[in-house]
Structures are given as C-alpha cells and as structure tokens.
C-alpha cells in the first residue's frame, strides 16, 4: 500500500493486495468443459466451493442444462458450509482481535481461550458440511458439472444436523458478542452490488442488483461491469459502466437482501442493532456473524427436507456456446464465463472475483481513512490501515502477502 501526502492532505492511495486469476484463465483454455470446477477450486483455499459453483453454472448454461431442484438444494447446502467456515475464520482469527485490542488471534487465544475455541468449533460445523457434501474439507472432490458424484444418505445428513444445531447457538452467541464491540464512525457511499433471489437470501444463484437500482443477469455482467488495468497494480479494477466504483460482499448482500433473512437470523440482526442496510465497513463483522446464523439455519432447513436427488447428476454433453455463472462467494459476487467448442474444449475463460471488484472502493475508503490519521507515525498508521483492509476480508490469493505500507510525506 502506498500513500502520497502533499501539503498535509492525502493525494493518492494505491493498494496492491491481490493477484488476478489470469493464470487460471489461460490454463483453462484447451481443457475439457468438465474440468473448470476442479481447476478453479484451486484459486482459493478459503472459497473453493464458490469457484466450483460459479463454474458449474456457467458451463451448464453454455450447454443448455439446468440441474434439478434437489441438486440445486444440495449445492446451496454445500455453499452454506463454505460461508460458515470462511466467515468464522475471518471473524475469530482475523477481525475480532482488532476490536478487542489484541495484535493477533494468538494473543486473543492466550487471554480468551474459550472465545477462539468457540470460533474454531463454529468453523468446524462448516467443515462438517464440506466433508459430507463436498467429499473433503479443502478443494471438494464431490462436485461435478451437472451435479454431484454421490448424494449423501439421509442418515448421514441427520448426524450433520446434530452438529449444526449446536453450531446455531454458537453462531447466535457470536452475533451477540460482536454487537458489543465499538465500531469507528465511518460511512461510505459506494454503490453496492450483490446477487438477489427474491424471497431468499442470495447465495448460489440470482440476478445482479445494485443499491443504485441496476438489475441485470449474469449473462449481461460484462455489459455492466468493466475491468480496467490501472498502472500501479497487477489487479484489474472493476467499475460499473458509466457509473464508477462499487462494493460487493457481505454488507452489499445484507443491504440488498436483509428482508429475506430467516426469522432467527433477522432477529439476531435486529438485536445487534443492524438496520435495513449497512454502510459502515467496520460493522461488516456483525453482518458476517448474522450471515453465519443464516447459513447454519438455512443448512438445517435444507437438511430437514432433504431427499437424496436421483439421479445426483445430469450428463452435460458439450455443445458450442458461451455460458455465464455468478454466485455469492463469502467475499461477494464471483463471475465466470466460458466459451466452449463443439468438442467440449474451452476456448476462453473469464473469472471476475470479488476482491478485484472491490479494489477501487477499498482504495477510496482508505484515502478517507488515512486523511483523518495523518498525525500517526508510519507503524501506527500501518496497523490501522490493516484493520481497515481486514474489514473487506480481501481474498488470499497468496498466503505470504503482508501489508507493506509506504508513506510519501515529502
């Protein structure tokens, strides 16, 4: 992160935290149309399901296939597992220590072992879904284009439900706990973008909607969202055509879909003081906690009515065409587009992950955030900027990245 200060004012903030999946887009060309779910799952260790689901939707759209409701429900259940895991990890091990005055989760664990244990137990409930439905916890192997290799038995689901009932209490405790944190007074005015599925909190499908009134299908995504190369970063910056920067992710989802939370999640949100929308990025920890409640509750609902889909997958014979898919990754809208030839070989691939979409908005927030803190020394400023960046839970495209702040105060 580079900050340029001139005459006591922030002139520029540039952030380079993310590497785009261009390698994967190139790597996918010439591969078979059945391969993207497994290959793109490797882009992110935290949200492999998101990549698998967006890939499946895009390829199925290209091939003119729509999966059964039973398969769609099983996908949504798997996705709930990923939300629980990803959010619990972020809340407890990365974000909460900032609010409690700890330098890290390690220091928090030394003082409050029970809190970290609660977070890990909650996360483990997400793991359990991933292991049963996905076949294993990292890079699930049970997902295929057209459905699943194997549908879990009802008895297996019953055992999973037991774990989730315990997790629901942990999730509710998490919301109540996070509601007691002190949040810096900071509001943004970004246009917020998320999938919407009326009647349901969007996870595994939907149309794209914005707080500015936009509404378009995943197939129209590239007409509305333009990615631009910026000189200071290898990452592309996404903008809404003719409108500018925007924000995707939990607070955008919440703002656009909070009326469709389940009653228990809605109640938790109300008790935590979340209104109909959330424009304070620091309060995203609360939104994530509410989304964990929703994901656990939704998983229980899906399990309760579960019948193993038969067949558990549809054959997806290739045909020449282009398909688009978008789902709500834990960090926001994840878009995939594939072009396939008649033999089923991929001729082009495009992946637009949430972090690249948020880059411009994060920089804008940091510009304002830093402007109020120019009296801090570089070390203090670095720490506070890290906290501000953590609000957005940027994607871990490389686990060895650190924030290297340079402040040019000349």
Partner 1 sequence: MTRQDNPGQRTVVVGVGNEFRRDDGAGPEVIARLRALQPGDASLSGVTLALSDGEPGRMIDLWEGARLAVVVDAVRDSSMPPGHLYRVAVDALTGVVDGVADSAASSHSIGLGDTVELARALGRLPARLTVLAVVGRDFGFGTSLTPEVAIAVGELVEQVREIVRW
Which residues of this protein are in contact with partner 1, per CB under 8 A?
17, 19, 22-24, 27, 42-43, 45-46, 85, 88-89, 93-94, 103-106, 109-110, 113, 116-117, 120, 123-124, 127, 137-139, 383, 386, 389-390, 393-394, 396, 398-403
What is the Cα–Cα distance from 291 to 202, expressed in whole angstroms? 11
Query: CA–CA separation, 150 vs 134, rounded Å?
Result: 9
Report, in Å, the least distance between residue 389 CB and partner 1: 5
The number of residues making up the chain comes to 410
Select 73 or 98, whichever has its Cβ closest to partner 1: 98
Return the number of the residue (40 or 258) whose C-beta is nearest partner 1.
40
3-class secondary structure, 120: helix
For residue 99, the number of C-alpha atoms closer than 13 Å in the C-beta half-sphere is 22
State which residue, 354 or 394, has the beta carbon closest to partner 1: 394
- For the CB of residue 292, give the shortest distance to partner 1 in the complex, in Å: 14
Residue closest to 247 by CA, chosen among 204, 285, 279, 295 = 279
- The CB-of-225 to partner 1 minimum distance in angstroms stands at 23
| Distance of alpha carbon 24 from alpha carbon 84, whole angstroms | 26
Cβ-contact 28, 36 below 8 angstroms: yes
Q: Which is nearer to partner 1, 234 or 259 (CB)?
A: 234
CA-atom Rg of the chain in angstroms: 21
What is the nearest approach in angstroms of partner 1 to the Cβ of residue 396? Answer: 5
- ω into residue 311 within 30 of 0, thus cis? yes
Nearest Cα neighbor of 252 from 393, 45, 397 is 393
Provide, rounded to whole angstroms, the least separation between the CB of residue 30 and partner 1: 14
How near is the Cβ of 59 to partner 1 at its closest, in Å? 20
Taking alpha carbons only, the member of 236, 242, 198, 211 closest to residue 224 is: 242
Nearest CB to partner 1, comparing residues 324 and 331: 331
Q: Which of 175, 226, 254, 185 is nearest to 356 (CA)?
A: 226
Minimum gap (Å) between residue 394 Cβ and partner 1: 6
Helices (H), 10-92: 22-28, 36-40, 48-63, 69-89
Q: Which is nearer to partner 1, 26 or 159 (CB)?
A: 26
Is 62 or 389 the residue whose CB approaches partner 1 more closely?
389
To the nearest whole angstrom, how small is the minimum distance from the Cβ of residue 77 to partner 1? Answer: 20
Q: Contact, 177 vs 171, CB < 8 A?
A: no
Q: Which is nearer to partner 1, 310 or 400 (CB)?
A: 400
- Cβ-based burial of 74 (10 A; exposed 0-12, middle 13-18, buried ≥19): buried
What's the min distance (Å) between Cβ of 86 and partner 1?
10
Query: Judged by CB, which is closer to partner 1: 327, or 355?
Result: 355
The closest alpha carbon to 341, from 31, 24, 25, 23, belongs to 31
- Please name every residue paired with 350 in a beta bridge, in sequence order, or none if there are none: 337
User: Does residue 68 come out as left (phi exceeding 0), alpha (psi in the -120 to 50 range) or beta?
Assistant: beta
Comparison of 24 and 177: residue with beta carbon closer to partner 1: 24
Task: Please report how close the Cβ of residue 363 comes to partner 1 at its closest, in angstroms.
Answer: 14
Is residue 387 a contact partner of residue 100, using CB atoms and an 8 Å limit?
no
Neighbours of 316 (CB within 10 A): 21
């Amino acid at each position: 992160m580079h900050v340029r200060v001139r005459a006591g004012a922030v002139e520029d903030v540039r952030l380079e935290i993310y590497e785009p999946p261009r390698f994967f887009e190139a790597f996918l060309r010439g591969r078979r149309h059945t391969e993207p779910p497994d290959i793109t799952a490797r882009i992110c260790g935290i949200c492999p399901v998101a990549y698998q689901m967006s890939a499946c939707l895009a390829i199925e759209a290209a091939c003119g296939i729509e999966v059964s409701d039973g398969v769609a429900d099983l996908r949504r259940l798997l996705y709930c597992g990923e939300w629980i895991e990803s959010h619990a990890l972020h809340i407890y091990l990365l974000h909460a220590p900032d609010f409690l005055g700890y330098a890290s989760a390690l220091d928090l664990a030394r003082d409050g072992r029970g809190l970290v244990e609660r977070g890990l137990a909650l996360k483990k409930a997400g793991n359990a879904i991933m292991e049963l439905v996905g076949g294993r916890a990292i890079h699930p192997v049970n997902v295929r284009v057209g459905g699943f290799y194997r549908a879990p038995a009802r008895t297996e689901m019953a055992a999973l439900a037991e774990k989730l009932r315990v997790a629901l209490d942990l999730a509710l405790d998490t919301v109540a706990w996070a509601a007691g944190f002190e949040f810096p007074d900071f509001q943004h005015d970004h246009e917020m973008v998320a999938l919407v599925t009326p009647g349901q909190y969007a996870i595994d499908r939907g149309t794209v909607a914005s707080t500015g009134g936009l509404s378009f299908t995943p197939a129209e995504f590239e007409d509305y969202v333009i990615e631009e190369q910026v000189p200071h970063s290898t990452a592309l910056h996404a903008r809404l055509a003719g409108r500018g920067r925007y924000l995707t992710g939990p607070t955008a989802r919440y703002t656009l879909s909070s009326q469709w939370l389940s009653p228990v999640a809605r109640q938790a949100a109300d008790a935590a003081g979340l209104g109909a929308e959330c424009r304070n990025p620091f309060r995203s920890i609360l939104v994530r906690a509410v989304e964990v409640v929703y994901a656990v509750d939704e998983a229980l609902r899906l399990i309760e009515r579960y019948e193993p889909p038969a067949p558990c997958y549809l054959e997806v014979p290739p045909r020449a065409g282009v398909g688009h898919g978008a789902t709500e990754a834990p960090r926001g809208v994840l878009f995939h587009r594939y072009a396939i030839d008649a033999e089923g070989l991929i001729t082009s691939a495009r992946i637009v992950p949430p972090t690249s979409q948020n880059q411009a908005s994060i920089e804008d927030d940091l510009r304002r955030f830093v402007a109020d803190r120019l009296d801090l020394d570089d070390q203090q400023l670095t720490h506070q900027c890290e906290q501000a960046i953590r609000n957005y839970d940027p994607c871990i495209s490389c686990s060895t990245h650190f924030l290297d702040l340079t402040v040019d105060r000349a």
